[in-house]
Structure 1
Amino acid sequence: MTTHLPSADPGYRERVLRGARGALTGLALGDALGMPTQSMSAEQIDEYYGGPIHGLLDAVPEQPIAPGMKAGAVTDDTEQAFVLARRLIEGDGDLDNAQYARDLLDWEAKMKAKGSLDLLGPSTMAALHALEEGVSIEDTGKLGTTNGGAMRAAPIGIAFAPSAPDRLLARMARESCLVTHNTVQGIQATMLVAAAVSFGIEGVDDPLRHAVEYVEQSHVRAHWSAKASVLRRVRTWLRWATAGDGASVTTARFADALQYDCGTSVESSESVAAAFAIVARFGNDPTEALCFAASLGGDTDTMAAMAGAMLGAQHGPEAFDEAMRTQVTGQLLADNGLDLDATAQALGEIRLATLC
């Protein structure tokens, strides 16, 4: 008796490659929409941009991280996701963490040479500097509770299906965190985003709920931190957005709750929970979801990038505004040398190979 393999199904292959392109497109578009507002308050966004974000904008000189950056440009969220993608592709689905660490350091050196202020995040920078000083990879990320692992999780979600043998999706999400975010919070955050992307590509109903259940069953082992559980906060805010008070409130009240009750900082327990709530609220209008995230204040580029990856995996690249996505993907290749379609194709092939 021959067992049917989904990788042999032309329809499945097409869905994987469409979802892969969608995830990377959403990641980059969300990042670009949030670039001008990152690390700014909602009040500052209103002051300098005239209200909520509805399109790609040049960053104002007062932008604290990317002053003057041109409309459609991406930040470290997209750049570092592609660093991870390249490492997975060159390793045929394996991840050499020592080389991955060198890749991240090389990337930062190039950014410094260009005069960029958009460098490694606090957890990643501290971890890589510790690695340079001889600290073991198992210990370099022991303080990493921020969203650096989650923001670059999309390639993991593309490359590994939830049904891959030996819980490969969970193992590779954890593996990608070891150097920089080897905490329960960092790994849960990365698993959640990767799983939401992966289930979105599979075409299941309610990929967010499936992602939460998948991580609940994954029994994360990592360094302990007293900070809030990312898994519990994502579950709480997802429930609030879909079946609680958040399901019926106005958009303004929804934003207020995320800003002041959930939080929108670089901490995974805040920004990842907010991204899941945004996807749940605006799941039928992906472009509006990313504009909303870009207008919240706080870590806007990362929230929008994570939301974009999850929505793009589920709906495909065409779900986003055509003019905006065309501009961003064009600049991604011209300005950053990053080929979105080729990267999506290669990651999709890894996924298909693991299911053979």
Structure 2
Amino acid sequence: MSLNTKIQGILGLAAIGDAMGAATENLSFDQIRKQFGHPVNKFEKPGETAFALGNEEGQVTDDFSQIYFLSQAILKNDGVLDSDIVIKAILDWSNVPWYFDRFAGPTTRSAVAMYKAPSLKMNPLPGAVTVDYASKATNGAAMKIAPAGILHPNDFEGAIDAAITITQVTHDNSLAISGACAVAVTTSASLAPNATVEEALSAGFYGALRGETKAKLISREVAGPSVVERIRLALNIVNGNGTKEEKLRHLSQVVGSGLHISEAVPCAFGIIALNKDDPLQAVIDAVNIGYDTDTIAAIVGSMIGSFMDLTDARFMSLFETVQRANDFNLVELAKSLENVVNAYEK
């Protein structure tokens, strides 16, 4: 596959995962199957349990919309990624109430408030520990990180540096950086001409290790489960006994599929490892894993969307729907990002 088709696959599958997972978010593994009567495998209109209540079928949430805004900001800056551009992208995104008011997570919301009014400080109660909201290790660091990998195909260190630049704007801590680097390097590795899913996951594990090490030197170390060790746990579950459905349930119950970066990213690794030959099914399984399904599905799509066969009728139908529902031209966006990559390499 060409670089262009691989980038289209990443953008398309990440958007599809976000939009499809919007309907199952906040439901448990079993509630999804009970409410819908089966695992969800198409776009559904989000109901009252979802943050995306009010979305139509195929509309994305904060996950892919931040990838989109960040990509557009990088393109407007002639392909140059720096912290100022990331801040601009996040602020531009925050000025769209449809996205920000309804979907912004706690860490991103606090970061936006800081950049809009840096003189304002949150005052704790007398004697209380001051909370640094940039130290929250939430999965918002990983959900928007795809451009770091796309801009650095098969360049792990470049993807890591780009991921750190993006992450430190909103999630400046060791765990968030480790998780973001894991996703970015998987995406980067997946763009190699003859890459395999196994190679991409192995590279992503390196990204988690390298990101964790670098972050402890340049960022702030925070308490919480190691992304690296939780990836190991997820892969042990996948390689253990049981049916695929039992392993997915085990991932949801033991690794977790929630807001913390040490749940979402390792869970994505486990889901991908169970679906090495079918990227779309990996996203569908993420949609049905329970809890923060739109984010995990978007992360899975970012990591292995490049392996998607663009002649697959199932994918193309979903791809066309998600573009139409959100007024996106992902084909053109992929071409523009490819042009930036080609310019880098000259």
Please say whether Structure 1 and Structure 2 have the same fold, judged by a TM-score greater than 0.5: yes
Report the equivalent of 1:329.
323
Q: Is residue 22 of structure 1 aligned with residue 9 of structure 2?
A: yes
Q: Residues 149-188 of structure 1: matches in 2 within 5 Å? A: 149-163=141-155, 167-188=157-178
Say whether the 8 Å CA contact 1:39–1:298 is kept in structure 2.
Answer: yes
Deviations 1:226-251 (A, max 9, x none): 1111122123323442xx30xx4212
Deviation at 1:115, TM superposition (A): 8.7
Q: 1:224 aligns with which of 201, 204, 221?
A: 221
Amino acid at match of 1:311: I
- Identical columns (%): 27
Q: 1:52 aligns with which of 39, 42, 48?
A: 39
Report the equivalent of 1:266.
259
Q: Is residue 78 of structure 1 aligned with residue 58 of structure 2?
A: no
Q: Residues 244-259 of structure 1: matches in 2 within 5 Å? A: 244-245=239-240, 248-259=241-252
Amino acid at match of 2:243: T
Q: 2:195 aligns with which of 191, 196, 204?
A: 204
Amino acid at match of 1:308: G
Q: Tell me the SS of whatever aligns to 2:58.
A: coil
Relative to the length of structure 1, the TM-score reads: 0.85
Q: Tell me the SS of whatever aligns to 2:135.
A: coil
Say whether the 8 Å CA contact 1:33–1:301 is kept in structure 2.
Answer: yes
Deviation at 1:198, TM superposition (A): 1.1
Say whether the 8 Å CA contact 2:178–2:208 is kept in structure 1.
Answer: yes
Amino acid at match of 2:231: V
Deviations 1:303-344 (A, max 9, x none): 1111112221133444553322221123232xxxx3211211
Deviations 1:106-147 (A, max 9, x none): 322322xx49753211111112212334279xx976313111
Say whether the 8 Å CA contact 2:154–2:191 is kept in structure 1.
Answer: no
Relative to the length of structure 2, the TM-score reads: 0.87
Q: Tell me the SS of whatever aligns to 2:44.
A: coil
- Partners of 1:46 and 1:291 lie apart in 2 by 13
Q: 2:103 aligns with which of 101, 119, 127?
A: 119
Q: Return 5+ residue gaps in structure 2 as ranges.
A: 121-130
- Partners of 2:114 and 2:16 lie apart in 1 by 33
- Partners of 1:190 and 1:140 lie apart in 2 by 19
Report the equivalent of 1:66.
52
Deviation at 1:97, TM superposition (A): 2.5
Amino acid at match of 2:329: D
- Partners of 1:352 and 1:252 lie apart in 2 by 42
Say whether the 8 Å CA contact 1:128–1:140 is kept in structure 2.
Answer: no
Deviation at 1:190, TM superposition (A): 1.1
Distance 1:316 1:152, change over 3 A: farther
Amino acid at match of 2:107: S
Report the equivalent of 1:5.
none
Deviations 1:80-126 (A, max 9, x none): 01111112212233224234324323322322xx4975321111111
Q: Tell me the SS of whatever aligns to 1:223.
A: coil
Distance 1:197 1:141, change over 3 A: farther
Distance 1:135 1:271, change over 3 A: farther
Q: Is residue 302 of structure 1 aligned with residue 308 of structure 2?
A: no
Say whether the 8 Å CA contact 2:23–2:50 is kept in structure 1.
Answer: no
Q: Return 5+ residue gaps in structure 1 as ranges.
A: 1-13
Report the equivalent of 2:331.
341
Q: Is residue 190 of structure 1 aligned with residue 190 of structure 2?
A: no
Deviation at 1:258, TM superposition (A): 1.2
Structure with greater contact order relative to length (CA < 8 Å, sep ≥ 6): 1
What count of residue pairs does the alignment treat as equivalent? 328
Distance 1:350 1:155, change over 3 A: same
- Partners of 1:280 and 1:289 lie apart in 2 by 9
- Partners of 1:71 and 1:23 lie apart in 2 by 20
Say whether the 8 Å CA contact 1:131–1:140 is kept in structure 2.
Answer: no
Q: 2:135 aligns with which of 143, 146, 165?
A: 143
- Partners of 1:171 and 1:116 lie apart in 2 by 27
